[in-house]
Chain A
């Protein structure tokens, strides 16, 4: 009977729909099971290793096995599963460490899950110790392959010491957060000027520094060398890190603000709230750079180009820019920290760099800035002996000028040791540990 057949079709439709739902459910549970397990306390986690097999994270670590300070140098970068720290290697990649898979089930006793990183633990420990009693951060990577080799942040965290009475900043890796960059910003301002004006026109610009420069709005921009540098071209001004030169460059008619702002955006800045370049390192989000620019004669804008004002850059971003300059391509190799993962049943997956950034500036600009930085780097041959480096230092005034942060960023020109780096010492004083000594220790350790 046709009417009964209609009933059967209704039944078929209902059962088919339901079974389709069951199939969707199975797929959902299978594909999301790792996420669910990240909220479970019954699964054990595998270990994290450095490039030489040294353990950087062990869920069941004890001081007797590893030594009390074994993890302190990288603990706020590697993180753990306690939930106290986010944006760390472990917290963002816990699915790779979970001794579990939906097919294999829970294998807490005989799971093989682990992560091998690109870090060199011995080098990290040496760099961490090189900070002495100062706080700050140092990050270095291979600018040809993208492997992060060193990433320390002081104050560090001793996982054996608990989480009470921690010094401010212990729980985060400062390399991924923005700071006022000081004169290291001049690398990018020079690059933007070269990109918009061309190297010949930029080379032809000469301005006089008398220790201070009164800008269009009548405010003074001081040079750190109060007696003045005299008349300079860009190469001399870059080496002297001369603020009045850069303020006059910004006010120059050939320095077209709209063009420069576009180049800044291309380089990855968030300009006046625009979207910044996204920098994610195996799930870890790194802040990049931001600035607020308005008119040429605006005091804050001019300081923004010099590295104060509203300009903020993360040490990681400064390091990544060095790749674009050092390799002379104008685009940077993106950094990564996980070189391989092993799943619960022992299958190894090799991980590689996420590739390169888009073109940040032209290869010609990269070569131009590279030349300036390498020339500047020769001044450090005594404090960082044995290397041919491209360098730029920076001193940023923070907390209303009460403290100064000291930066040194650059790269090694030797492609046998293609290291780009950025070192920051917070609240630097006139004596004691210097960024030069930390960079020296860093390069020697790698």
Chain B
């Protein structure tokens, strides 16, 4: 069956998808050339050369991989180079080499994530190392990030090690059916051992984030853990238990209320700020972001014509507004829809095993929460937290982490079912499991 599928893929050769990806990029580049703001057309030519060349190179590399499906890969190529075009235009067209490099790193990271998790048996055995990895990251942050900060500066680069905790937590939260069936009694709770570990490490991460004053990441970790808890609390019943989900939701609300009550002063200021009354204080970025989006309208002011690039975090925390200003709200929404489609591929190429199913849920939770916090926060629908928008925001750590997570998603769609393998080569005979 798998062999037939591979054959079918080869026959299709993804020609039309490749054509769609390249044509989309060409249309965007034509828009840059015709409507963009630039001093020298060479900037557009360099950008176009990198985009088209990298498209072709990615396609060639993808051709060497053997997977059940390549949909996620092609969508990622599409998204990555759209992101490169957007980032290269903010405030004037100029090829953004740094973003190109980080996106390339993201693509590599994606394949690493795939290789790391495509074999569920192997990946689940790696769980203790995930706990250890999180511990190491915390120690690294404590030692090198300075007082209550999340950033480590290496030369001109800044790394946010806490970002790497996200895929590790997703892996900890992922679980096979088998490991759920081995339950033990802990005080009054009878549950699987890894459930206890998962809850404890999640609490530890959230407490650590709170201490480090990186409150923006907490909802992401909480969502991953929350989804895993919903899955596990309802297991083994097929249907969701409304009572258990209700209790979990009530607990989450109670914790959120407590968090708001005991939040640091600067966080409370952001929660309750009337941005229009405080346009040059706490509401500055959101006000500028909303004005920029309004100025952009549906179709935008034109690539490079934006003024939001004069505002801090224009290419990270309020990047959605920067894209809306220059390319229009429609383009910004379409970009987000592409990410949603990439996540939704799990619904079509459904995971073949429970472990990969929980991986897909965790990855979706990370992306949905991050996108929500970034987009809705910058547009003043929820408090502004300053998290990145996956693949669009400028930032190496974020893109590499997002790439790794998408690799995990890809693994759930092109899994390998071989027990106790030492090394998995491309073209290895696949097992099948229904």
Contact = CB atoms under 8 A, between A and B. Distances in A.
B344 A21 contact: no
Contacts of A15: 340, 343-344, 364, 368
A39 B291 contact: yes
B231 interface: yes
Interface in B47-94: none
Interface in B291-328: 291, 293-301, 307, 324
Given A4-B357, A10-B230, A14-B365, A29 B379 contact: yes
**By DSSP majority rule, is chain B's interface helix, strand, loop, or mixed?**
helix
B45 interface: no
A4 B372 CA distance: 25
Interface in A117-170: none
Contact of B361 (A7, A17, A22): A7
B354 A3 contact: yes
Which secondary structure dominates where chain A touches chain B? helix
Contacts of A10: 227, 230-231, 361, 364
Interface stretch (B6-14, B182-190, B256-264, B345-353): B345-353
Contacts, number: 127
B375 interface: yes
Interface string B352-377: 01100110110011001001100110
A8 interface: yes
Interface in A1-18: 1-12, 14-15, 17-18
Contacts of B329: 26, 29-30
A21 to B, nearest CB: 6
B421 to A, nearest CB: 23
B240 interface: yes
A29 B293 CA distance: 8
Contact of B291 (A11, A18, A21, A36): A36
B137 interface: no
A29 B343 contact: no
Contacts of B297: 33, 101-106
A25 B286 CA distance: 14
A11 B354 contact: no
A3 B361 CA distance: 12
A2 B381 contact: no
A8 B379 contact: no
A35 to B, nearest CB: 8
Given A10-B230, A39-B291, A40-B291, A25 B379 contact: yes
B357 A14 contact: no
A60 interface: no
A37 interface: yes
Contact of B381 (A17, A19, A28): A28
A1 B227 contact: no
Contacts of A18: 340, 368, 371-372
28 contacts: A1-B434, A3-B177, A4-B353, A6-B239, A7-B357, A7-B358, A7-B360, A10-B361, A11-B347, A11-B360, A15-B364, A18-B340, A18-B372, A21-B372, A21-B375, A21-B381, A22-B375, A26-B329, A32-B290, A34-B294, A37-B291, A37-B294, A102-B294, A102-B298, A104-B297, A105-B295, A105-B299, A106-B295
Interface of B: 177, 227, 230-231, 234-236, 238-240, 276, 279, 287, 290-291, 293-301, 307, 324, 329, 333, 336-337, 340, 343-344, 346-347, 350-351, 353-354, 357-358, 360-361, 364-365, 368, 371-372, 375-376, 379, 381, 434
Interface of A: 1-12, 14-15, 17-19, 21-22, 24-26, 28-30, 32-34, 36-37, 39-40, 42-43, 100-106
